[in-house]
Amino acid sequence: MRTRVARLYAAHDLRVEEQDLAPPGPGEVLLRMAAGGICGSDLHYYQDGGFGPVRVREPIICGHEAAGRVVETGAGVDLAPGTLVAVNPSQPCGVCEYCRRDMPIHCLDMHFMGSAMRLPHEQGMFRDLFVVPARQVHPLPEGVTEAEAACAEPLAVCLHAVARARDLLGDLAGLRVLISGAGPIGLLVLAAARHAGVSDITVTDLTDAALERARAMGAAVTINVATDPDALTPLQKDKGQVDLIFDCSAAGPALRAAFACIRPRGTILQVGVTGDMTFPLNALVGKEITWRGSQRFHAEFAEAVDLIGDRRIDLRPIITHSLPLARAREAFELAGDRSLACKVQLTFGTEDTP
């Protein structure tokens, strides 16, 4: 078999090419990919050749949030052809120190699709056809769109972030929450927090379009900090008024504002990532703030699939654009324009598949 792939060679050098594909072996399933979302890390690879110490050092097929339909199965796999599945890109080893300590997110031999952390790089899912271990696919019910199914991975990231907050704070329902950044991750954190019972949620961003989507996803208050930075002043009164902040922007000004708005002994969940940056250490110490990181997911992937499957979380407002694989470069450029796009997805058609 032959399949098309979207392979990145260096910053802004993304090519749609063909490669051979072996049939599925025992325990594997052949998928015709349906939709794949362009994530922030994909954008960093495309725009900058990487992020922080993670660099693209050899050609890599991008894409770690995707869904497809079953074409063929290997021995021992019971999945009907045509079944829509979300693909979990995370493959912890299960035997290292952190896997044994029930922290598979921190696996010492992690394989994560579409990631340049390892060398050779882990190849991703932006391709027409893909063979994957059956244990990594999660079926979805009829009525769920392919675009929604492809959002299981970013939703799992956000469910994990909310779970990290609940580990510290317990019931979040009565808390005053602020979310910095209304990109796809910020909006899905909003959805996950509302699912956890939070109603008092303020969302900040630099664009009105992003904040309009936040209101559609259930934000109580939205603030454009580019046009109205003084709107945060009331939240900074008396050492801070906010109980819990999810920083999904990883922007210096947003983080400084978070430290000003958080109340003494409040909690900041760091979801967004960037390179080295400065932060107000005096505020961290003086207000006894808990600043906690959150990355990826494990059990939350199955939870995300369930929530999408019955639309207890409706992801459709974040999906703004879908472009075919042949227009992959255009899709990446569009995904980098926050004034136009939120979640941009590639689609993988059958009409021109080799």
Going along the chain from its start, the domains and CATH numbers come out as 2-151+315-347 (3.90.180.10), 156-293 (3.40.50.720)
Mutual angle of helices 152-169 and 300-309, in 10-degree steps: 120
Per residue in 258-282, pLDDT (tens digit) is 999 999 999 999 999 887 888 999 9
Query: Is the predicted pLDDT of residue 305 greater than 50, yes or no?
Result: yes
Strand, helix or coil at 268? strand
Calculate the average pLDDT of the chain: 95
CA dihedral 215, 40, 180, 264 (to 10 degrees): 140
* Confidence band, pLDDT 50/70/90 cuts, at residue 288: very high
Q: Report the distance separating Cα 244 and Cα 263, nearest Å.
A: 8
Per residue in 96-109, pLDDT (tens digit) is 999 999 999 999 99
The whole-number pLDDT of residue 350 equals 54
pLDDT (average), residues 234-253: 96
The answer to whether 151 and 87 are in contact (CB under 8 A) is no
Among 272-286, 288-302, 338-352, the least confident range:
338-352
CA distances (Å), origin 112, targets 13, 121, 239, 345, 353: 22, 9, 41, 19, 26
Per residue in 7-33, pLDDT (tens digit) is 999 999 999 999 999 999 999 999 999
The whole-number pLDDT of residue 233 equals 97
Query: Is the predicted pLDDT of residue 58 greater than 70, yes or no?
Result: yes
Query: Is the predicted pLDDT of residue 353 greater than 60, yes or no?
Result: no
